[in-house]
Structure 1
Amino acid sequence: MNQSTALFVGTFTTLLAIINPLEAMPVFLKLLANKDRGTHRRVARLSCFYATLLLFFFLVFGTLMLKLFEVPLSMVRIVGGIVLMQIGFSLFMPSGNAGAMAGGPAGKDEDIAFVPLAMPLMFGPGAIATVLGMASQVQRPLEDLLPLGAITAAILATMVVTYLFLAYAGTIVDRIGARGIDAVTRIVGFFVAAMGMGLIFHGLDQAIHDYGLVRP
């Protein structure tokens, strides 16, 4: 598997696991209670659009900021891995607070499309860590356009899948039920934690060599 394919698969699977549309669906349905299907699809489309813009902003300017402040890529991987591990554990052992975000007043559809749907449900610390962690694996971002294109394609594919889950949230929830969503969320949390641990080990390995802590 070449670098571009690995980046696409890694970014797509990790982002999809972090966003976890199955966990977002109950919140989405509660915020849009008593709304028609057309409104559901419009809000799902808006929220995914906002989240996509935020992801691309951090893909471009997040990498530039790291270079500007001379933050080593190894540190990005380590910190990103820690964040992913924390999110993975919280998904694997949910505290029951995930639905609390939907308890407030719904407000306008456009407002809830941005907060809390796009941010922080879709775009949060885990998504930021994933994008920066994957981008950190491109050693020459201004020259290696194909790997960056793979990350871009993975972001778009993730948001398309997320939109489909939200647009048909009512049907999916009726089919698999609350227990099914809980089971899938726990499984996803386990793999997110494992992905985070992998990023940490890659970051530590790179830091050990970059800082000359071991002899070649």
Structure 2
Amino acid sequence: MDPAVTLFVSMFTTLLAIINPLEAVPVFLGLLEGKGDAERQRVARKACWNVVLLTFFFLIFGNVLLRLFDVPLSMVRVVGGVILMRLGFELFSPSPSGGMIPSGGSGDQHVSFIPLAMPIMFGPGAIATVIGLTSTIKSSGHLVLSFAAASAAVFAAIFVTYLSLVYAKAILSKIGPQGIDAASRIVGFFVSAMGVALIFHGTVEFLQSYGVLLGKPAGQ
């Protein structure tokens, strides 16, 4: 498969799993309870646009921040993997206290950024994943093509999320709270698996960079 297509599919599925629009649907409806369709569409559009801006900020400046604080990408992958694994476990078996996933509350005019855009749709797992994927773009032979594929994946994932929020009432009425719970648990399983994979690859890359394991470190 073409590397650009592989990058697109990988980033699209990963972002969609982490954002988990189905998990955001009941929270979105709870925050905007009593609001009209026009208001919900406006907030959904603004929230998704905020997620796009956050994603591109970390996609472009993530490595700059890492270099500034002298943090290797291998460590970001490990930490991101731990966060993803914890988030996945929480989706699979949610705790009564709520943990990393906030619950809905009373809405106000700022809910499009906090808590909708951050941390419900774009939390620690998404930040770590986006920064980790920048190494894939940098290590590719075609930087512009890879960045274009990553950008397309971001817009595709956010567009699916936007549609989920716009049709939140219809989705909730069709599959119900139990369906959303079941889907969230399935997503949680795969998010946990992605977290374990990030921890494994980050650890291998870290050991290779110090010569403990033979082989070329990933991203170089």
For structure 2, the residue ranges without an aligned partner over 5 or more in a row are: 216-220
Matched, 1:101 2:100: no
For 1:45, the equivalent position in structure 2 comes to: 45
Query: Closer, same or farther in 2 for the Cα pair 1:3/1:100, shift >3 Å?
Result: closer
The Cα shift of 1:100 comes to 5.6
Matched, 1:121 2:123: no
Query: Closer, same or farther in 2 for the Cα pair 1:156/1:143, shift >3 Å?
Result: same
The Cα shift of 1:113 comes to 0.8
Structure-1 separation of matches of 2:172 and 2:123: 24
For structure 1, the residue ranges without an aligned partner over 5 or more in a row are: none
Q: Percent identity?
A: 53
Structure-1 separation of matches of 2:70 and 2:136: 16
RMSD over aligned Cα atoms: 1.9
The Cα shift of 1:95 comes to 1.5
Structure-2 separation of matches of 1:167 and 1:214: 49
For 2:12, the equivalent position in structure 1 comes to: 12
Deviations 1:115-156 (A, max 9, x none): 111111111101101101111223358961222221111111
Query: Does the 8 A contact of 1:17 with 1:188 survive in 2?
Result: yes
The Cα shift of 1:175 comes to 0.2
Residue 14 of structure 2: SS of its match in structure 1? helix
Residue 136 of structure 1: SS of its match in structure 2? helix
Query: Does the 8 A contact of 2:33 with 2:107 survive in 1?
Result: no
Query: Closer, same or farther in 2 for the Cα pair 1:2/1:75, shift >3 Å?
Result: farther
Query: Closer, same or farther in 2 for the Cα pair 1:133/1:215, shift >3 Å?
Result: closer
Moved over 6 A (4+): none
Query: Does the 8 A contact of 1:4 with 1:147 survive in 2?
Result: yes
Structure-2 separation of matches of 1:186 and 1:60: 32
- One-letter identity of the residue aligned with 1:128: I
TM-score when normalising by structure 2: 0.90
Residue 104 of structure 2: SS of its match in structure 1? helix
- One-letter identity of the residue aligned with 2:21: P
1:9-88 alignment to 2 at 5 Å? Answer: 9-88=9-88
Moved more, 199-208 or 63-72: 63-72
Query: Does the 8 A contact of 2:8 with 2:152 survive in 1?
Result: yes
For 1:149, the equivalent position in structure 2 comes to: 148
Moved more, 16-25 or 74-83: 74-83
The Cα shift of 1:172 comes to 0.5
The Cα shift of 1:44 comes to 0.4
Query: Does the 8 A contact of 1:76 with 1:136 survive in 2?
Result: no
The Cα shift of 1:8 comes to 1.2
Structure-1 separation of matches of 2:107 and 2:202: 41
Residue 10 of structure 1: SS of its match in structure 2? helix
